[in-house]
Chains A and B, each alone.
Chain A
Amino acid sequence: MELLIDIVLLAILGIIAVAILWTRHLFVATMLSGAYSLTSAALLVALDAVDVAFTEAAVGAGISTVLMLGTLTLTRRREKATNRRVSIGPLLLVIVTGALLIYGTVDMPAFGDPNAPALLHVVPEYLAGTRDDIQIPNIVTAILASYRGFDTLGETAVIFTAGVGVLLLLGRRREEDEEAGTRRPEREA
């Protein structure tokens, strides 16, 4: 059953990805990208990553879609037609990269392997520590906020940085920027 869900969801993702590649309508692509995130979220649930699924749904399907739509109203809806032919260079690059990754999977632990090295090293301590020391049920939260809390501080700083950047870029009225774009630095006499 798990396997079936897994495969169906992956297939849907594949179809969406191809559709994104194919469509020339940016609005459609944006919506498809949202759908992609939502389907991913479903798959993440199937993979036991409920926290991540939750976030991916909220961010990928929610906020980032809204931002893209906002961008589209400010720019335009359609991609230029000429850009659609298959370009050899990028294709080659992608094939090589993909082949490399697949080559790397050969020595990977099998999917779902309960004895994968990653499960044996640090994880057991986290499980025990969360149960005994921190005493909260959600292990992900325990790691996120305490064991690896510093990463999360960094993550908050990343979000803050994005806010600073967007404010710097879009914080002012458009006319001010247009006026500014043409000037040279004021020469101090």
Chain B
Amino acid sequence: MRHHLVLRVVSKLLIPFIILYGLYVQFHGDFSPGGGFQAGVIVAAAIILYALIFGTERAKQVFKPQALMVLAPVGVMIFALVGYYAMAMGGAYLDYDWLAGDDTTGQHIGIITVEFGVGLTVTAVMTLIFLAYAGRTHEIDDDDW
């Protein structure tokens, strides 16, 4: 689809906004619908859009698979480590009350951190999965459809 100028320009404009929206969903999940998972999917969608328009090879240069392969496990680890940290502080596993001096703050910190971990993993895994599919074949041409 590289020759569709309109598409390229529009998406170039859109992609930053999609990612921004993803970040909003990520960190505003406490207040409105959304959270790590939805945010992760949105950001991944932005990356996938980029890959579709500009080609997987170029996408891989921007979003390096090696980096994604680090981010995916790190997201899970962030979540799990919050649990361990609470445990080390004296609470039960994942007991956010122990993350800060006061329970409510602790809960907020906990929720935001784990949601971040979820978002990281989802973004990375979704992108990786897409790249794996895409890496399996030649570039997708219009004629394919």
User: Which of A's residues lie within 8 Å of B, judged by CB?
Assistant: 27, 50-51, 53-55, 58-59, 62-63, 66-67, 70-71, 73-74, 133-138, 140-142, 144-146, 149-150, 152-153, 155-157, 159-160, 162-163, 166-167, 169-171, 173-174
Contacts and interface: CB of A to CB of B under 8 A. Distances in A.
Interface string B120-137: 011011101110111111
B140 interface: yes
Contact of A58 (B45, B72, B137): B45
Contacts of B134: 70
A157 B107 CA distance: 22
Q: Is the interface of A mostly helix, strand, loop or mixed?
A: helix
Contacts of B144: 73
B96 interface: yes
Interface of B: 29-35, 37-38, 41-42, 44-45, 48, 69, 72-73, 75-76, 79-80, 83, 93-94, 96, 103-104, 107-108, 110-111, 114-115, 117-118, 121-122, 124-126, 128-130, 132-137, 140, 144-145
Given A55-B41, A149-B114, 19 more contacts: A51-B38, A58-B41, A58-B42, A62-B45, A70-B134, A74-B133, A134-B104, A134-B108, A136-B108, A153-B94, A160-B72, A160-B121, A160-B125, A163-B121, A163-B124, A163-B125, A163-B129, A170-B132, A170-B133
B137 to A, nearest CB: 5
A63 B41 CA distance: 7
A166 B128 contact: yes
Residue in A136, A150, A173 whose Cβ sees the most chain B Cβ within 10 Å: A136
A141 B33 CA distance: 8
A84 B68 CA distance: 42
Given A157-B76, A163-B72, A174-B136, A134 B107 contact: yes
A133 B103 contact: yes
Contact of B136 (A55, A141, A156, A170): A170
Contacts of A140: 33
Contacts of B137: 73-74
Contact of A137 (B31, B44, B93, B132): B31
Nearest to B113: A145
